[in-house]
Amino acid sequence: MPYVPPPHPTGWERAAPEAAGLDPAALAVAARHAAEHETPWSRDLAHAVATDFGEEPPWNEALGPVWPRGGPNGLVLRHGRVVTEWGDTTRCDLTFSVAKSYLSILAGLAFDRGLIRDVHEPVRRTVDDGGFDPPHNNAITWHHLLQQTSEWEGELWGKPDLIDRNRSVGGGQAAAKKGTHRDLQPPGGFWEYNDVRVNRLSLALLRLWRRPLPEVFRELVMEPIGASPDWQWHGYRNSFVEIDGRRMQSVSGGSHWGGGVLIHACDQARIGLLMLRGGEWGGRRILSQEWIERMRVPCSLNPQYGYLWWLNTDRRWLPSAPAGSYFASGAGGNLTWIDPEHDIVAIARWIDPAARDGFARLVMAAIRD
Instruction: State phi, psi for 191 to the nearest 5 degrees.
Output: -100, 130
Q: Percentage of the chain surpassing pLDDT 70?
A: 99
What pLDDT was estimated at residue 252? 98
Average pLDDT, the chain: 97
DSSP 8-state symbol, 334: E
> φ and ψ at 231, to 5 degrees?
-75, 155
Taking the C-alpha atoms of 49, 52, 55 and 58 in order, what is their torsion angle to the nearest 10 degrees? 30
Residue 117 falls in which region: left (phi positive, over 0), alpha (psi -120 to 50) or beta: alpha
Average pLDDT score over residue span 249-275 = 98
| DSSP-derived secondary structure letter, 141 | B
Q: Identify the burial level of 84 via C-beta atoms within 10 angstroms of its C-beta, where 0-12 means exposed, 13-18 middle and 19 or more buried.
A: buried
DSSP string computed for 1-30 = ----PPSTTSPPPB--GGGGTB-HHHHHHH
pLDDT value at position 11? 87
Average pLDDT over residues 83-108: 98
Q: What is the pLDDT of residues 55-86, one digit of tens each?
A: 999 999 999 999 999 999 999 999 999 999 99
pLDDT in tens, 297-354: 999 999 999 999 999 999 999 999 999 999 999 999 999 999 999 999 999 999 999 9
Give, to the nearest 10 degrees, the angle between helix 98-112 and helix 195-209: 30
Task: Give the bridge partners for 329, in sequence order.
Answer: 335
Quick one: pLDDT at residue 237?
A: 98
pLDDT at 210: 98
- Spatial distance between the Cα atoms of 339 and 287, rounded to a whole number of angstroms: 18
| Residue positions counted in the chain | 369
Query: From CA 237, how far away is CA 6, in angstroms rounded?
Result: 36
Burial annotation 254-265 (CB, 10 A radius, 16+ → b, else e): bbbbbbbbbbbb
Alpha helices in the chain (DSSP H): 24-36, 45-51, 98-112, 142-147, 195-209, 213-217, 265-276, 289-295, 356-366
pTM above 0.85, yes or no: yes
CB 92 within 8 Å of CB 258: no
Residues of the chain with pLDDT > 90: what percent?
A: 97
Q: Which of 52-61, 95-104, 269-278 has the lowest mean pLDDT?
A: 52-61
pLDDT at residue number 168:
84
pLDDT at residue 125 is higher than 60? yes
The residue type of 218 is R
Please give the average per-residue pLDDT across 216-239, as a whole number. Answer: 98
What confidence score (pLDDT) does residue 1 get?
86
Q: Provide the pLDDT for residue 175.
A: 78
Taking the CB of residue 343, how many other CB atoms lie within 10 A of it?
17
In this structure, how many other beta carbons lie within 10 angstroms of the beta carbon of residue 303?
16
Q: What is the DSSP string of 295-330?
A: HTSPPSS-TTBSSSSEE-GGG-SSTTS-TT-EEEEE
Over the Cα atoms of the chain, what is R_g? 20
Structure-derived torsion over alpha carbons of residues 150, 152, 156, 162, reported in degrees to the nearest 10:
110
pLDDT score recorded for residue 169? 87
pLDDT in tens, 161-201: 999 999 988 656 677 999 999 999 999 999 999 999 999 99
Q: Given this model, what pLDDT does residue 171 score? A: 57
The CA distance from 145 to 132, in Å, is 12
Calculate helix-pair angle for 98-112, 265-276, nearest 10 degrees: 40
